[in-house]
DNA sequence: TAGTGGTCTAGACCACCCG
DNA sequence: GGGTGGTCTAGACCACTAG
């Protein structure tokens, strides 16, 4: 049975996600019906339905009217779901490696015009800039550069832990929640400096991701630019209707 | 007021999407409250909520508890939502061009081992293969290759209209609905043959998308491989929580 | 025909933001 | 305090699929 410190739907979702992850509901099999789950958790059918709808929208479940709800075996193998286009840690994990974040450079400097435009601040305003390397089993696979408006932070930037992922970093030091992101994907040649950090040849072909994170107040929080080694990591996206 | 030939929620969604598209609810502004919308459409608040939740999940709306629901101006400018990773027509449209589909080659041939594996058929089984070029204002921007198990079609392949997009083609000639897709994104050099079709230099850097379409019965429907000119078209993805 | 998911309602209470 | 979105319930009826 569930108690009420957190929303019931959230608790149900966590339980179901765990069962999927741990194979309690095995790949391709049918899971219990809505009524059965509602009875088991002691919640209404509507509450169960919102959870199942969400998991189905993410492709984890396949629902067939008049039949039942099934575990989507294919998507369990896929490695990047909705969240992961910018969440490099889980992306690396989902590819079967152990992720590490390594800070390679940080500085405070004025914003370029382009950065100021994207972040909705004045050109020349202070920026916190950080370069980080993501390792998959100790092998460099992603180089990520992020810039934040300096005014966002409530602590001196020296205190910022560069090994946190973006969402937690923003939570902890800026007290902001990410509401949505916009990512642009490009294919480019690898710049020389980035190549040396990634231990790759310059001018190799790489995926380049440019991401802007926004708060629910439509405020730009950070600008990210990363180079992505798509030979080691597969960028695989699932979409469901 | 609404009638009941189609689900109420679907009708409400269409109306709201149109209002967003046409600027009835202008960018950044607050839209009517849930209760007001429910009253206007003559449906329950729950029905309105499912629609608003969906639009918010797609990033079109921003919801703030205790305040209201707002039009996300930034996402209106973005060009590819999660739906459009494979829907090249709307992707081209959203970039501000007029799309055209031009068939460049079609054939029937046996499946390679790799294709057979991805489509869950026997190697050597018959495939319908089609190469198509997507034009943005008459300029070639995407080259797409699709292969379908021949057994899927209920008509001779000569009758297949090569200018339809994948979902409609599958609906019309194979009576199948797409339930989900898995897309892999790569950065590659452009092969020579593809370069000539796209009027580009060979060995140029391009985005390459590999997509598999599945039915809700987990049956692979088609395999797509496309080259994407990311200089003219921006591949921009929105993600919301 | 029994059971499943799909749709919808009416109503309740809560958490939060604003003036 | 009044209005907003957030959560949840109980119950109804429908559409569909399976055996």
Per-residue pLDDT for chain A (241 aa), expressed as one digit of tens each? 455 578 999 999 999 999 999 999 999 999 999 999 999 999 999 999 999 999 999 999 999 999 999 999 998 766 555 556 778 888 888 888 999 999 999 999 999 999 999 999 999 999 999 999 999 998 999 999 999 999 999 899 999 999 999 999 999 999 999 999 999 999 999 999 889 999 988 888 999 999 999 999 999 999 999 998 888 888 888 888 8
Residues in chain A: 241
Digit-coded pLDDT (tens) for A152-164: 998 999 999 999 9
Give the separation between CA A222 and CA A70, rounded to whole angstroms: 39
Residue A80 pLDDT: 57
Residue A207 has what pLDDT?
94
- In this prediction, residue A230 carries a pLDDT of 86
**A241: nearest CB among B180, B208, B218:** B180
Contact B236 A78 (CB under 8 A): no
Q: Between B179, B207, B240, which is nearest A179 by CB?
A: B240
Mark yes or no for CB contact B179/A83 under 8 Å.
no
Identify which of A184, A185, A205 has the alpha carbon closest to the alpha carbon of residue A194: A205
Q: What whole-number percentage of chain B has pLDDT above 90?
A: 76
- CB-CB contact of B182 with B211 (8 Å): yes
Q: Is the CB of B177 under 7 A from strand C?
A: no
Number of residue pairs across A and B with CB atoms under 8 Å?
129
Burial of A107 (0-12, 13-18, 19+ CB in 10 A): exposed
Q: Which regions in chain B score pLDDT beneath 50? A: 1
Closest residue to A187, CB basis, from B62, B183, B205: B205
Taking only the tens place, the pLDDT of each residue in B91-101 is 888 888 999 99
The gap between A205 CA and C19 C1' (Å) is 56
Reading the block at residue B203, the tokens are 């060995």
Per CA to C1' distance, which residue is closest to D5?
B65
Rounded CA-CA distance A157/A153 in Å is 7
pLDDT for res A50: 96
Determine whether the distance from the CB of A33 to the nearest atom of strand C is below 7 Å: yes
Reduce the DSSP state of residue B122 to 3 states and report it. Answer: coil
**Integer CA distances (angstroms), A11 to A1, A7, B50, in order:** 10, 7, 20
Q: Do B239 and A82 count as a contact with CB atoms less than 8 A apart?
A: yes
Nearest CA to A63 among A75, A72, A73, A50? A72
* pLDDT, mean over chain A: 91
Backbone dihedral angles phi then psi of residue B101, each to the nearest 5 degrees: -110, 130
Distance of CA B160 to the CA centre of its chain: 20
Segment holding B41, helix H or strand E: helix B34-41
Torsion sign across C-alpha atoms A76, A81, A83, A84:
positive
| Rounded-to-integer distance, Cα A147 and Cα A115, Å | 8
Query: Is the pTM for the entire model greater than 0.85?
Result: yes
B196 CB neighbour count, 10 Å cutoff: 13
Strand D at less than 7 A from CB of B64 = yes
Contact B235 A83 (CB under 8 A): no
Report the distance separating Cα A93 and Cα A233, nearest Å. 10
| Spatial distance between the Cα atoms of B154 and B148, rounded to a whole number of angstroms | 12
């Amino acid at each position: 049975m569930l108690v009420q410190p957190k929303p019931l739907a959230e608790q149900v979702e966590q339980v179901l996600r765990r069962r999927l992850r741990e194979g309690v509901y095995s790949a391709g099999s049918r899971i219990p019906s809505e009524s059965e789950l509602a009875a088991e958790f002691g919640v209404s059918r509507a509450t169960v339905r919102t959870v199942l709808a969400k998991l189905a929208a993410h492709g984890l479940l396949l629902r067939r009217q008049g039949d039942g709800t099934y575990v989507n075996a294919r998507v369990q193998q896929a490695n990047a779901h909705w969240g992961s286009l910018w969440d490099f840690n889980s992306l690396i994990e989902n590819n079967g490696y152990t992720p590490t974040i390594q800070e390679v450079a940080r500085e405070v400097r004025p914003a370029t015009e382009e950065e100021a435009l994207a972040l909705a601040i004045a050109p020349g305003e202070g920026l916190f800039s950080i370069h980080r390397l993501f390792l998959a089993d100790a092998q460099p696979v992603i180089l990520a550069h992020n810039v934040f408006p300096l005014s966002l932070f409530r602590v001196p930037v020296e205190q910022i832990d560069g090994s946190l992922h973006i969402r937690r970093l923003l939570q902890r030091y800026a007290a902001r929640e990410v509401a949505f992101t916009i990512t642009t994907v490009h294919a480019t040649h690898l710049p020389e400096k980035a190549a040396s950090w990634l231990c790759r040849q310059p001018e190799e072909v790489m995926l380049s991701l440019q991401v802007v994170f926004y708060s629910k107040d439509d405020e730009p929080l950070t600008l990210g630019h990363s180079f992505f080694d798509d030979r080691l990591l597969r960028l695989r996206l699932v979409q469901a209707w």
